A and B are shown apart, each in its own frame.
Chain A
Amino acid sequence: MAKTKEPIWWSLFGAGGMISAVLTPITVILTGIAIPAGLLSIEAFDRLIHHPLARLYLFLLIVFPLFHGAHRLLFTLVDLGLKGMRGTLAVVLYGSAIVLSILAIVLLIRLSP
């Protein structure tokens, strides 16, 4: 049973790896450097974040990297010797990714323009 579900988690992991590799650095620069340095005004950022495309962008950048992180952390913890707890860890990690994703989707939908 676990074997047949593996491709789902793996493709979410792969998508998350690619999306965060391409988009996370520039986004971190925007929220962590451009805003504090005043290169991007808070007012403009507030306007921008409500745009449908910005919300789609945030959806991609929140949801897929969560599954990427859950997958990598699961295997890291297993490699560190928690092999016996693999089932529990999988439920906790993938479960957290699912719950946080639903929360993100609800918030992004509520963030109407």
Chain B
Amino acid sequence: MTGKQYVRPVQSNWWLQKRSYTLFMVRELTSAFIAGYSIFLIVMVYWASQGNEPFTRFCDGLKSPLSILLHLLVLAAALYHSITWFNLTPKIMAFWRGEEKVSDGAIQGANFVLWLLASAVVAGIVFAVARG
């Protein structure tokens, strides 16, 4: 394209003007909390590689009120991400059963079932290994 292009001015607070826009922005920002948790996991792996004693000290830090508060914030963001993500999936991907399109509700339901099952399996394995 040549010549001048008209770019409609956008105010940076557009997302505060409508509830649905604000929720969209909240959803986008949950990814920052989740990426932050990835960085926390990297730090955790680093301390695990330093031997038992440093790792135990790191884990003792997990018991501090600040750590628990941050974890609860991340958990809230992560849950919001999970719910919005599972509800969005049918809009991103279409699944076909023969000639018929699988309904949005069925895909969303399958996602939530997968989520609960995976969470139960992870918790089950962790506690089984911990006890064994």
Contact = CB atoms under 8 A, between A and B. Distances in A.
A91 interface: no
Contacts, number: 164
A73 B44 contact: no
B113 to A, nearest CB: 11
B45 A104 contact: yes
B12 A81 contact: yes
Interface residues of B, number: 56
Given A46-B56, A70-B35, 11 more contacts: A20-B82, A28-B71, A29-B123, A32-B72, A46-B55, A66-B35, A69-B35, A76-B25, A100-B38, A100-B42, A104-B41
A36 B12 contact: no
Interface in A15-63: 17-18, 20-36, 39-51, 57-58, 61-63
Instruction: Tell me what chain B mostly uses at the interface: helix, strand, loop, or mixed.
Output: helix
Interface of B: 10-12, 14-15, 25, 28-29, 31-32, 34-35, 37-42, 44-46, 48-49, 52, 55-56, 59-60, 62-63, 67-68, 70-72, 74-75, 78-79, 81-82, 85-86, 92, 111, 114-115, 118-119, 122-123, 126-127, 129-131
